[in-house]
Structure 1
Amino acid sequence: MECPRKGLRCRPLLLCVSALWLQLQLAAAGDCPADSRTWVPFQGRCYHFVHGQEDSIKSYTFERARTLCRGFEVLSIQSAEENEFVLKYSPEVWKGTVNVWLGMYYDTDSEDMKWLDGEPLQYTNWEESSSPSDLMPLETCVTLHTNTGRWENVSCLDDIENGVICETSEKTETVKKKSSALLSGLVIFSVVLILGVSAFIGFIHQRRYPGLFVFTAFEYHPPFRVLETDESCLVEAEETDGAP
């Protein structure tokens, strides 16, 4: 970055821009669990894709999938964007087609499927025939096919799948810090923008009117003080004595 004039220093402006970029990067970064496992952040959530090195078995029952997540929930999907994120990131971990367990169960109270974290089904992506007649409702679980992105009903007890994804939310305190960092970044950006515009206007003004300062110097004048009565009489007497 070149300065418009040799005498103008751009280093403070560059430092402000660098600080703004750093704060925006920190605001965009996620804060996922630090438990020696690899967590991938996406839209305020954290995801751990279980791979074969964590267990000698590469296919898991639903209960085994819940055990592998170690205190976190099995994958739940609330939007088409989240579903697409899983499909795009899966090849980074697994080769070929993988059937991923979804953290879904049959709720006897509502007689419907629900997520293990208690959230209702706001988004679904079922196969055309996803309700086999030979499955009992209480034994019904769901798997996601990474080759199509579609969901299928399977048996929680008899079927095994070769994909497990654990999920949790980012820490609440971190989300607040991210918002604060983003706000601070916007403030810094505003200051940098104002300084840059002011410097540019000053540079143009100096080129058009060389030798003329943008800011006018003001001469300081002490405030007017009213003379007291005795001092006024003394001044008047002196003027009378000095008269011819």
Structure 2
Amino acid sequence: MRRTLSDVTAGVSARHTGAALIICLFSALCCVSGQSAPGQEDACPPPLWVQFHKNCYTLVSVTSKNSLSIEPARQLCKDIGADIISIGSKEENSFLVRTFKGQWKGPTEVLLGMFYDSDDNSLKWFDNSEVNFFNWGQVKLGDNDLNTCVKMNTQNGLWDVTDCDSATESAALCKYTSKENHTFDKKTVMITVIATFTVIALVLSIVVVFLHKKRNWSSGLHRAEVLPYRDDAILVDTMEREDYA
């Protein structure tokens, strides 16, 4: 059976369509594998964020008229995908002091994301980090300080207690862990790629089926042109020839 021009065009189109879809999928997978690993320098976008190990920090300033207490400060951090600051080591505390002096030039005091939990009489971080470091100045937490929050002097890094209801600040110090964010981003992109691959496979199947049916339909028309007579007409013609013989 001869192949018509439409058959050849359909085959070429199917191959080109499949190749293009495969290239798109390969490019998407390359984008996923090429994402920045947690802890790399570009994990925290400058200049708004600064990085220390796997954590990113930013100082969100407000006017003195709109000074923040502990809950509004924390909400401001959450609005940008972070949480109010927690400090887990002497090195991290020192890093923040250096950044305040060299880059942020911020207020002399900031609220830390620490509160007193009366259920077990202990201090805890709002972001559920482990409490394994303190940097108290001269004042330490008392046994009856049920409404206690903590603030840090940005010039010397020393901590002090303050009343949660009356404590205010002109800037919120926010923090997020880049590892958690990158893990989430990579997982989200991977899910998107899988969903895209599913759609691509479905579309490719529909295209192949359509082109296959189109080719069979074109082949049917070609056979109809070559064989203009019906089967019953051919049978009658054969019988007449036998009778004549």
Q: TM-score of the superposition, structure 1-length normalised? A: 0.52
Percent sequence identity is: 31
5+ residue gaps, structure 1, are 1-23, 176-244
**Residue aligned with 2:43, SS:** coil
1:44–1:26 distance in 2 versus 1, CA, 3 Å = closer
1:65-76 equivalent positions in 2, closer than 5 A: 65-69=73-77, 70=79, 71-76=81-86
Structure 1 position 160, deviation (Å): 1.4
Alpha-carbon distance between aligned partners in 2 of 1:57 and 1:37, rounded to the nearest angstrom = 26
Residue 156 of structure 2 aligns with an amino acid whose one-letter code is: T
**Residue aligned with 2:146, SS:** helix
Structure 1 position 111, deviation (Å): 0.8
1:153 to 140, 155, 161: 161
Aligned length: 149
Equivalence for 1:178: none
Alpha-carbon distance between aligned partners in 2 of 1:26 and 1:132, rounded to the nearest angstrom = 39
Equivalence for 2:104: 93
1:100–1:56 distance in 2 versus 1, CA, 3 Å = closer
Alpha-carbon distance between aligned partners in 1 of 2:135 and 2:98, rounded to the nearest angstrom = 16
Residue 118 of structure 1 aligns with an amino acid whose one-letter code is: N
Alpha-carbon distance between aligned partners in 2 of 1:173 and 1:74, rounded to the nearest angstrom = 16
Spell out, residue by residue over 1:151-177, the C-alpha distance to the aligned partner (whole angstroms, 9 max, x if none).
0000110121234211110044747xx
1:161-240 equivalent positions in 2, closer than 5 A: 161-172=169-180, 174=182
Alpha-carbon distance between aligned partners in 1 of 2:159 and 2:181, rounded to the nearest angstrom = 34
Equivalence for 2:151: 143
Alpha-carbon distance between aligned partners in 2 of 1:39 and 1:112, rounded to the nearest angstrom = 31
5+ residue gaps, structure 2, are 1-35, 184-245
**Kept in 1: contact 2:137–2:158 (CA 8 A):** yes
RMSD after superposition: 3.5
Equivalence for 2:208: none
Alpha-carbon distance between aligned partners in 1 of 2:150 and 2:94, rounded to the nearest angstrom = 17
Spell out, residue by residue over 1:6-63, the C-alpha distance to the aligned partner (whole angstroms, 9 max, x if none).
xxxxxxxxxxxxxxxxxx999731423x7x98221111001111124xx564632112
**Residue aligned with 1:76, SS:** coil
**Kept in 2: contact 1:45–1:168 (CA 8 A):** yes
Equivalence for 1:130: 140
1:80 to 90, 95, 101: 90
Q: TM-score of the superposition, structure 2-length normalised? A: 0.52
**Kept in 1: contact 2:148–2:164 (CA 8 A):** yes
Equivalence for 2:225: none
1:172–1:64 distance in 2 versus 1, CA, 3 Å = closer
Alpha-carbon distance between aligned partners in 2 of 1:40 and 1:113, rounded to the nearest angstrom = 27
Equivalence for 2:41: 29
2:117 to 107, 122, 141: 107
Alpha-carbon distance between aligned partners in 2 of 1:26 and 1:168, rounded to the nearest angstrom = 12
**Kept in 2: contact 1:51–1:94 (CA 8 A):** no
Alpha-carbon distance between aligned partners in 1 of 2:181 and 2:51, rounded to the nearest angstrom = 16
1:31–1:130 distance in 2 versus 1, CA, 3 Å = same
